[in-house]
Chain A
Amino acid sequence: MTAAVKISNRNFSVFYGATRALRGITLDVPAHQILGIIGPAGSGKTALLRAMNRLNDLDLNCRVEGQILLDGEDIYQPDFDVVRLRKRVGMVFALPVPLPMSLFDNIVFGPRLSGIRARPCLNELVERSLQAAFLWDEVKDRLHTSALRLSGGQQQRLCLARVLAMEPEVILLDEPCSGLDPISTARIEEALITLKNEYTIVLVTNNTKQASRVADTTAFLLQGELIEVGPTPQLFMAPKDQRTNDYISGRFG
């Protein structure tokens, strides 16, 4: 049984100035699954991720070719509502970036922009998001203190909660656990596994073990090209491409 496809990258390339970061990637993101993207530094994983919510638009040097379809619609067509796209496709960055305000204000930042002002609504939203990010119990008594006071792992879960408060359809995560301790990492992985029932998740990671733990499907990128993609157990135990095998077994990275 083939899963429904949430996002479809069709022959997609990304250029930063003259450098080609992604070459003609064709990759489907299955709905309600975790897609892991692995590969060494410089393989274009982040470029691909940031293309999916058009965050690379902020870099005026960046040029793209090809299509990315979200539920069948090309997000790069002219006059596409980018602002709404980013509400449907949220992102968690590699380094936690809490905004310099209270936890509460951080989480409701996005919803407030969408016009949700009613206090009870916001309260409920905050609790729901923090619960889903497995952070509620730790911070429920200090929602109005500054987010800068949290530990790294807590801050990253806050960032996850912030994205969840937008009630997106897709969550993109760019190496979210790279600076975190193992316990925080485990919490986040726990959260992701629970979340995939409601959301579609794309997880870029430089930690192959994490991908094997968490991802349903894994894709391997190398120097801007998609080398191989497949169900995680199959990719890790019987990779079809020699280069995949070399990367997974640590021969390079």
Chain B
Amino acid sequence: MKQIGDKVVKLGLMVIAVSAISSLLLIALFIFKEGVPFMVRLGAGDFLASSDWRPEKGHYGIFPMIVASIWVTLGAMMIGAPLGIAGAVFLSEFVPKSVMRVIKPTIELLVGIPSVVYGFIGVIVLAPWIRLHLGGAGLSILTASVILGVMILPTVMSISIDAFTSVPNSYRDGALALGATRWQAVHMVVLKAARSGMVAGTILGMGRAVGETMAVIMVSGNAVKVPHSALDSVRTLTANIALEMGYATGMHREALFATGVVLFLVIIILNAIAIMAMKKRFAKK
């Protein structure tokens, strides 16, 4: 009797799991359905490699946007991931629990600050400073990277802290009993044990960075050109969609869906790389 109940539960959960995932399939389906025919008609090569984006003339080249998205995301990860993980390590391993109990909620609060507020601050505080001290237009890859990096910091940090605190104390005690300093215990034992959690936090943070639209629109300059330096204005793929979705029709709109397709693929590739990187490190041991 109880066996049947258990089987019903398992089936119910499987249905839930499948419906949750089918929402992904649904999104993929729609975006591809709208965007792929366009890319086929235009020629994928022209679409991806051409730097000529003039929809009014029927030119749809998104190469500059692809480059922009890659640079801005990489920049954000270079700032957000190390700082986030370093902060998480410091807060969970070298700081008394009582202090942490105050700081962690503070960090989690910061996840909720709207991206548009970050963007706003970027515009009125960071961009002028960069323009003054580093040159360029102020609204640039650098500005966007810094703002995005700061934006994803709380996400990476808070999930990494969770990962560290869930490493059992016996791991640390074992290392310390062998004569290791706290730092040695951390980087030799705890970091490895918490790896899956850290990667989860980083991937989620990267997700936010790639997907950020509003803040990026406000601080990256939105110029459609291939950047030559970190101080150049750029327009990312996401910004492109958001800015033009409002008034795009017909082929123009399809082009924006096709941009969505490219974004999709970029993300799948990034995730695959992340997963492979994780596997490689496990295999090396």
**Which residue numbers of A lie inside 8 Å of B, CB to CB?**
79, 81-83
B229: Cβ under 8 A from any A Cβ: no
Report the bound CA distance from A83 to B2 in whole Å: 8
Minimum CB–CB distance for B158 against chain A, Å: 23
Minimum CB–CB distance for A222 against chain B, Å: 31
**Which B residues are CB-close (under 8 A) to A79?**
3
**Which A residues are CB-close (under 8 A) to B3?**
79, 81-83
Interface of B is mostly: helix
**Which A residues are CB-close (under 8 A) to B2?**
81, 83
**Which B residues are CB-close (under 8 A) to A82?**
3
What total of A-B pairs shows CB separation below 8 Å?
6
Report the bound CA distance from A81 to B2 in whole Å: 8
Minimum CB–CB distance for B57 against chain A, Å: 61
Minimum CB–CB distance for B168 against chain A, Å: 12
Closest to B1 in A: A81
Closest to A83 in B: B2
Closest to B2 in A: A83
Minimum CB–CB distance for B19 against chain A, Å: 25
Task: Mark B1-45 against chain A: 1 for CB-CB distance below 8 A, else 0.
Answer: 011000000000000000000000000000000000000000000
Report the bound CA distance from A83 to B1 in whole Å: 10
Report the bound CA distance from A81 to B4 in whole Å: 11
Report the bound CA distance from A77 to B3 in whole Å: 14
**Which B residues are CB-close (under 8 A) to A83?**
2-3
Q: List 6 A-B contacts (CB under 8 A).
A: A79-B3, A81-B2, A81-B3, A82-B3, A83-B2, A83-B3
Report the bound CA distance from A82 to B3 in whole Å: 9
Report the bound CA distance from A79 to B1 in whole Å: 10
Minimum CB–CB distance for B173 against chain A, Å: 14
The 6 closest A-B CB pairs, nearest first, are A83-B2, A81-B2, A79-B3, A81-B3, A82-B3, A83-B3
Report the bound CA distance from A79 to B4 in whole Å: 10
Closest to A84 in B: B2
Minimum CB–CB distance for B174 against chain A, Å: 15
**Which B residues are CB-close (under 8 A) to A81?**
2-3
Report the bound CA distance from A82 to B6 in whole Å: 12
Report the bound CA distance from A55 to B208 in whole Å: 43
Minimum CB–CB distance for B171 against chain A, Å: 15
Closest to B6 in A: A83
Closest to A79 in B: B3
Report the bound CA distance from A83 to B3 in whole Å: 9
Minimum CB–CB distance for B170 against chain A, Å: 11
Report the bound CA distance from A196 to B3 in whole Å: 32
Report the bound CA distance from A183 to B60 in whole Å: 81
Task: Mark B230-241 against chain A: 1 for CB-CB distance below 8 A, else 0.
Answer: 000000000000
Minimum CB–CB distance for A239 against chain B, Å: 38
Minimum CB–CB distance for A167 against chain B, Å: 19
Minimum CB–CB distance for A135 against chain B, Å: 25
